[in-house]
A = this chain, B = another copy of it.
Amino acid sequence: MRSATRDRIVRAALSALAEEGFAASSARAIARRGGFAPGVIYYHFEDLEHLLVAVLEWTSEMRLARYREELTGASSAAELLLRLRALYAEDLAGGHVAAVQELVSGAASNPRLGPAIVERLRPWRELAEEVAHRFLAGTPLEPVLPAREVGLAVLALYLGLETLTHLDRERSGAEALFAAAAPAAVLFDSLVGENGGATA
């Protein structure tokens, strides 16, 4: 059930996660940030863990819609890469990357939270798989790059890159990979033809 108060709690939790980190995101810290009493959280959520999972659901849903919208229109690998780069910049600016990273690393020490987090990451894996399928199906690369495993690899690569970035507080890994992938995207397009795989 959605309500204005529930959304406000979720937004306060997202901002607490992104700016203060998982360990500091207590019910009290989230309530202070949102300007409501801690008890309000427990009126809308069973416990803090349910609220944290709701943050991932909320941010995922919003960002997935935006990713789908942008990626559906990409007709070449070069364009796909440009759009991914812009989407990633949006993720960073909105605190989404930081919040998801905090949830993922925080969940590692919480056996109840872990499986719930992986479940909410599944649509991202599926989106990566769909895009891989759209670009690879009907090309000579299809037999050696199965879309399902490409989807898993893309999600894992993203999480691992964020972990490294988060650990040493430098944000250059993703940029370096985006830059390095540009010539490969151009080569891919020249081999399969613009619109080659992407319209199959």
Contact surface of A with B, Cβ cutoff 8 Å: 21-23, 101-102, 104-109, 111, 114-115, 117-119, 121, 143-146, 148-149, 152-153, 155-161, 163-164, 166-169, 173, 176-177, 180-181, 183-184, 187
Contact = CB atoms under 8 A, between A and B. Distances in A.
Given A105-B109, A159-B160, A115 B152 contact: no
A109 B22 contact: yes
A153 B159 CA distance: 11
Contacts of A166: 108, 114
Task: Please name the 8 residue pairs, one residue from A and one from B, whose CB atoms are nearest each other, closest first.
Answer: A160-B160, A156-B160, A105-B108, A149-B180, A159-B160, A114-B167, A144-B184, A118-B168
Copy tally for this chain in the complex stands at 2
B23 A187 contact: no
Contacts of A155: 160, 164
A124 to B, nearest CB: 11
Contacts of A101: 108
A181 to B, nearest CB: 8
Contact of A144 (B121, B156, B183): B183
A145 B184 contact: yes
A118 B164 contact: yes
B144 A187 contact: yes
A184 B109 CA distance: 36
17 contacts: A104-B167, A105-B105, A105-B163, A107-B167, A111-B169, A114-B167, A115-B168, A117-B167, A118-B168, A143-B183, A149-B180, A152-B161, A152-B176, A153-B157, A156-B160, A156-B161, A160-B160
